[in-house]
């Protein structure tokens, strides 16, 4: 497929997991990719894989919680490729903790990366996307649609992404920019072993309550295809949607 021929896409969190899978699919479909990640080495590695030497990808080391860095990432993308057609906000963090153990720094870091970072990248990209009548795809979560024990900060951040997406979709609906989100369940990415380990004394029934008995982890590519669909012309009549990508029948 060549839905992204002559399109320029900025992908945050492109260094691993869902961001990497999304960047790979977009590249295969013809996009030129700005690989944005807080880990510069990972971004460089992905850009090299996608064709940095042929001018099809660039790596940008970017902290999405920094307003200036977000604007510089967009500016660098436009300088390199001449425009921006799509923003895929995939960078994110999370962890399981007892709510009573969450200190101010823990709370703020998750909100800053997942919610504020998504907002700052949208804000930085919108002037360019208005020029190209482009699209934004944000990454929410099923944890932003219903509660999850031991994940108060994460649920709050992803719930914020859900309504941020809908607010932007309405605001720019008459100006040609579509804004949608995916809401995945668990994905087999480095984020899971890095943060989503239940506390030692966690009640397993509370963890299981969020999933059906047959629930399984998705591979990144299974979710990435939905991200790419929302970013593509095939979703030209989809705006303000939050698509659940999960095999759990309890949603």
Q: Is the separation of the CB atoms in 136 and 178 below 8 Å? A: yes
Cα separation, 87 vs 94, in Å, equals 22
Look up tokens 């894989």; give the residue: 49
Contacts of 66 (CB under 8 A, 6+ apart): 120
Across the chain, the runs of DSSP E, i.e. the strands, are 8-12, 32-37, 57-61, 86-89, 135-139, 178-184, 242-245
Look up tokens 């500016």; give the residue: 75
Cα separation, 99 vs 141, in Å, equals 19
Cα separation, 37 vs 14, in Å, equals 6
Cα separation, 100 vs 159, in Å, equals 20
Cα separation, 50 vs 71, in Å, equals 23
Establish whether 237 is a catalytic residue: no
Q: Is the separation of the CB atoms in 102 and 153 below 8 Å? A: yes
Q: Choosing from 150, 154, 172, 237, which is the catalytic residue? A: 154
Catalytic positions are 154
């Amino acid at each position: 497929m060549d839905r992204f021929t002559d399109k320029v896409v900025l992908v945050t969190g492109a260094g691993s997991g869902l961001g990497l899978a999304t960047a790979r699919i977009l590249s295969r479909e013809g996009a030129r990719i700005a690989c944005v990640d807080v880990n510069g080495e990972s971004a460089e590695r992905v850009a090299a894989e996608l064709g940095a030497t042929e001018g099809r990808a660039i790596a940008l080391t970017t902290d999405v919680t920094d307003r200036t860095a977000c604007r510089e990432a967009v500016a660098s993308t436009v300088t390199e490729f001449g425009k921006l057609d799509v923003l895929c906000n995939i960078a994110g963090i999370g962890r399981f903790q007892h709510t009573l153990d969450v200190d101010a720094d823990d709370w703020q870091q998750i909100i800053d990366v997942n919610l504020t970072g998504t907002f700052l990248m949208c804000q930085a990209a919108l002037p360019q996307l208005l020029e190209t009548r482009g699209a934004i795809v944000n990454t929410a979560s099923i944890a932003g649609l219903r509660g999850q024990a031991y994940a108060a900060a994460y649920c709050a951040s992803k719930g914020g992404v859900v309504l941020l997406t809908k607010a932007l979709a309405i605001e720019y609906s008459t100006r040609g920019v579509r804004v949608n989100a995916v809401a995945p369940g668990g994905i087999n990415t480095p984020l899971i072993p890095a943060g989503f380990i239940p506390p030692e004394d966690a009640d397993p029934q509370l963890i299981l309550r969020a999933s059906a008995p047959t629930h399984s982890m998705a591979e990144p590519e299974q979710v990435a295809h939905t991200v790419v669909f929302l970013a593509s012309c095939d979703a030209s009549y989809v705006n303000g949607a939050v698509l659940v990508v999960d095999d759990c029948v309890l949603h």
